[in-house]
Amino acid sequence: MSQSPLVIETLSFQYRTRPEKAIEKISFDLKPGEMLLIAGSSGCGKTTLARCINGLIPRSYKGERAGKVLLHGKDVSEMQIADVAQTVGTLLQDPERQIVASNVFNEVAFGPENLGLPREEILSRVDAAVKRLKIEHLLERETFNLSGGEKQKVALAGLLAMNPSILMLDEPLASLDPASAHEALEVFRSLADEGKTVVLIEHRVEDAIFAKPDRLLYMEGGQVKYLGSIDSLPTAINHREVKLPAEWVVKRVRQAGKMSPRVEPAAQEKRGEPLVVFENVDFRYNDESPLILQDVNLQIDRGDLIAVLGPNGAGKSTLVKHAIGLLKPTGGRVLVEGNDTKSMSVAQIAHSLGFVFQSPTHMLFAPTVREELEFGPKNLEMDSLAIPRLVSESIATMNLKGFEEYPPLGLSFGQQKRTTIAAVLAMQSKIMIMDEPTAGQDYSNYTHFMDTMCKPAHEKKSLVAENFAATLFITHDLDLAVTYANRVLLFGDKHIVADGKPEEVLKDFDLLTRYRVRPTSLLRMNLSLFSKTKQFLTAEALAAYA
């Protein structure tokens, strides 16, 4: 009988800097070809468990460890780190932290080269990995110029080229468009079917279920609350902590008899004056490079809550960088509150428009979270007496209390992302633009801050969020558009291909599929009940109509 690739026996760990245990008495084992889905809210211990499996604990993170982690019968704490790396291939949440080479070919080849493999073997592995992920067209590209989703695919290709027996995937879907996420899950399933042991840590449980994980491990407070099949809806799983299929949530709410009263559609607010205007905008990086934006016309008005959807690499981030002035159009013009961005500095535009980058590492630099949040308001010469209040409210809104004196770059990816949003909140710009705001966030966290920022003005409970005249967010999470947007832009083929109310744009499944957006259970349920609701609602709210 062959040894299990991964055995965990009564594993506990307490970080040296924390008073409580991060994980406690965790036990399970995985067989070759088995896929385990690990879910739970932020801070429940998922990442700590991953660090114990890939050897970062006890090497890079110090503390008190009890129990055992066995890789093919060997205790991970007694193995050489090079041996652990060849056994366990880890894909990080933030591909920025994983990519080391300047071009894609070198990045995918980096691992096999470090193993000292013959050139023919390296070339063969690179070719197989990029073909499996359908990214041959990226091979000659510079990694710096890739989109977030493209970087995630390249990092995964580098992992596959190493050919580890255990794959540790920490939120691998976070940066991927829905169709790419679907394709990645098919790859994970096929790898498991070929004998790999796959550990998939993912907040997007509804999406992850598509890969048909053999078991689900659900964690709360560092402990295992459920370990078993996900054929049915385990009552141990809190539907407010992780995102489940809409049908499961409705069934749970109705069984509990806790339906909310039916929600009356809000009165249609009149759109106010134009805040940002794109007029026939073209953009290319230089005369030799192809157009990335072509004849883009767009108007962002007061009162807009806009979701921008579209494929990886389509130019969504390039589009919004024109609004903040980080990029200037090579044709046409962009106006912010009536002023041409070509005649304005980024600092001047920042008074009107706050921008949250896709990757937190592109924004964070200060020694502490508090100083990070103070930097923008001070630079904008805001009232010094108001700054402490703005910082305090932004920290509360983004669930960062207790982290004020932590170094931002020492936080988890999800906490870093919330820090960047809090930093923009504190600046009190009129327009908030966010690139993938929910990456690395559990359902509970992102619901809290999106509610705060996107509810109608009379419902907002946070003074820092009341100031926004318009909000725009780029997202691959279609349900974010369903739940929060009053307007949806579908971007592809270098321009806006659809622009309208969510219920109008999102009912065209053929168009969505063409631009790599996959309809979700929540969208389908909202469309089927729209004649009753007259609006798009959360799964919990839909329970009153279903």
pLDDT of residue 234: 78
Strands 431-435 and 353-356: parallel
DSSP-derived letter for residue 421 is: H
- The secondary structure of residue 103, as a DSSP letter, is B
Average pLDDT over residues 423-440: 91
Q: Which of 217, 243, 269 is the last residue of a domain?
A: 243
Find the mean pLDDT for residues 19-44: 93
Count of structural domains within the chain: 3
Q: Which pLDDT band holds residue 458 (cuts at 50, 70, 90)? A: very low
Mean per-residue pLDDT of the chain: 91
Query: Please, are residues 307 and 496 in contact by the beta-carbon 8 Å criterion?
Result: no
What CATH number did the domain enclosing 385 receive?
3.40.50.300
Structure tokens at 28: 């399970």
Selected residue with higher pLDDT from 270 and 184:
184
Confidence band of 459 (pLDDT split at 50, 70, 90): low
Q: Which residue do the tokens 């055995």 mark?
A: 7
Asked if 383 and 523 sit in the same domain, the reply is no
DSSP code of residue 264? P
pLDDT number for residue 258: 78
Q: pLDDT tens across 233-250, in order?
A: 678 888 888 888 999 999
For residue 313, the model assigns a pLDDT of 87
**Predicted pLDDT at 98:** 87
Residue 433 maps to a domain: no
- Verify that 194 and 226 share a domain, yes or no: yes
Q: What is the pLDDT of residues 289-325, one digit of tens each?
A: 899 999 999 999 999 999 999 998 899 999 999 999 9
Q: How many CB atoms are located within 10 Å of the residue 256 CB?
A: 10
* Alpha-helix runs per DSSP H in 163-201: 178-193
pLDDT the model gives residue 81: 86
The angle subtended at Cα 223 by Cα 219 and Cα 225, nearest 5°, is 55
Question: Whole-angstrom Cα distance, residue 473 to residue 309?
Answer: 9
CA distance 492 to 498: 9
Q: Which structure tokens are listed for 346?
A: 């980024």
Question: Looking at the predicted structure, is the pLDDT value of residue 337 above 90?
Answer: yes
Name the percent of the chain lying above pLDDT 70: 97
**Residue with the larger pLDDT of the pair 373 and 145:** 373
Classify residue 255 by burial, with Cβ atoms within 10 Å: 0-12, 13-18, 19+.
Answer: exposed
pTM above 0.85, yes or no: yes
Of the listed ranges 31-40, 188-197, 359-368, 506-515, the one predicted with least confidence: 359-368
Paired strand residues for 492: 495
| pLDDT tier for residue 477 given thresholds of 50, 70 and 90 | very high
Per the CB < 8 A criterion, the answer to whether 297 and 278 are in contact is yes
Q: Are 192 and 48 in a shared domain?
A: yes
Do 500 and 513 share a structural domain? yes
Q: Is the pLDDT reported for residue 105 higher than 80? A: yes
**What pLDDT, on a 0 to 100 scale, did the predictor assign at position 19?**
80
Q: pLDDT category, 462, cuts 50, 70, 90?
A: low
* Judgement on whether residues 313 and 229 belong to the same structural domain of the protein: no
Report the 10 Å Cβ neighbour count for 518.
Answer: 18
Are residue 128 and residue 209 in the same domain, yes or no?
Answer: yes
Tokens in use for 225? 């609350």
More confident residue, 136 or 93: 136
Residues 20 and 75 in one domain: yes
By residue range, what is the domain housing residue 461? 358-428+438-468
- When pLDDT is cut at 50, 70 and 90, the band that residue 466 belongs to is low
23 and 133 co-located in one domain: yes
Token readout for 93 is 């949440």
The β-bridge relationship of strands 63-71 and 331-336 is unpaired
> pLDDT, tens digit, for every residue of 360-419?
988 999 999 999 999 999 999 999 999 999 999 999 999 999 999 999 987 878 889 999
